[in-house]
Amino acid sequence: MKKLVDGLTEDGHLYSEKIQEALLKINRRDFVPQEFENEAGKNISLPIGFGKQIIQPQKAAFILENLELENGQRILCLGSDSGWAPNILAEIVGDEGKLIVIDEISKLTEHSQENSRKYPFLKNGKIQFITSQESEGFLSEAPYDRIISLVSFSAIPEDLKKQLKVGGKMLVPINKQYISLERKSIDHFLEDDEIQSRGLISRMAGKIYSHNK
């Protein structure tokens, strides 16, 4: 993984030390099927079964850098990513942080949870995996400092907006194009066109599985 992290850093996709360290600690090899273990250190997405792929490292770096993560944050992650992205997030937000992971495919939730047993976050309660509709979020643990979706929607679900904390930030792919949304007050959200004009978000190419509902 060091070669991968060094490459992402040299290419300008990765620059935060805490994110670099998390990517080195949470080995992608632990979250891919055995037949793809030798490919885990490459900057490519890989099949994880159930018609899904583990996120491409370059895209993961983009998400992590744009979320402006801090210790102690409460995060909602939509899509379990075989457990890799959730464990990276848990590493970054530290001992006081909490991560709720929603995936509508029960077998993938179980698979991600099993992979996560290789790291301490599931056992110590920092990560909770739930099988449910991603678009509904998880109200009982709201509000969230950050919401990140690894699945695509046709529009930002209203349930997710209601669960974002004032001052919180959300990254969601809309029609497979990531946008950012910040909740400035109870009723005011700053969306991607304003954020892009301030240089805080860029466009990413790549395949994101669609949940257009």
Look at residue 172 in the predicted model and tell me its pLDDT. Answer: 93
Fold of 2-197: Rossmann fold (3.40.50)
Look at residue 175 in the predicted model and tell me its pLDDT. Answer: 83
Give the pLDDT of the chain (213 residues) as one tens digit per residue. 899 999 999 999 999 999 999 999 999 999 999 999 999 999 999 999 989 999 999 999 999 999 999 999 999 999 999 999 999 999 999 999 999 999 999 999 999 999 999 999 999 999 999 999 999 999 999 999 999 999 999 999 999 999 999 999 999 998 878 889 999 999 999 886 443 434 344 433 333 333 443
Look at residue 192 in the predicted model and tell me its pLDDT. Answer: 66
Look at residue 213 in the predicted model and tell me its pLDDT. Answer: 37
Look at residue 140 in the predicted model and tell me its pLDDT. Answer: 95
Instruction: Please give the span between the terminal C-alpha atoms of the chain, in angstroms, as a whole number.
Output: 36
Q: What is the DSSP string of the chain?
A: -HHHHHHHHHTTS---HHHHHHHHHS-GGGGS-GGGGGGTTSSS-EEEETTEEEPPHHHHHHHHHHTT--TT-EEEEES-GGGHHHHHHHHHH-TT-EEEEEES-HHHHHHHHHHHTTSSTTTTTSEEEEES-GGG--GGG--EEEEEESSBBSS--HHHHHHEEEEEEEEEEETTEEEEEEE-SSS-EE-HHHHHHTT------S---B---
Listed by start position, the domains of the chain span 2-197
Q: How far apart are CA 52 and CA 6, in angstroms?
A: 27
Look at residue 193 in the predicted model and tell me its pLDDT. Answer: 46
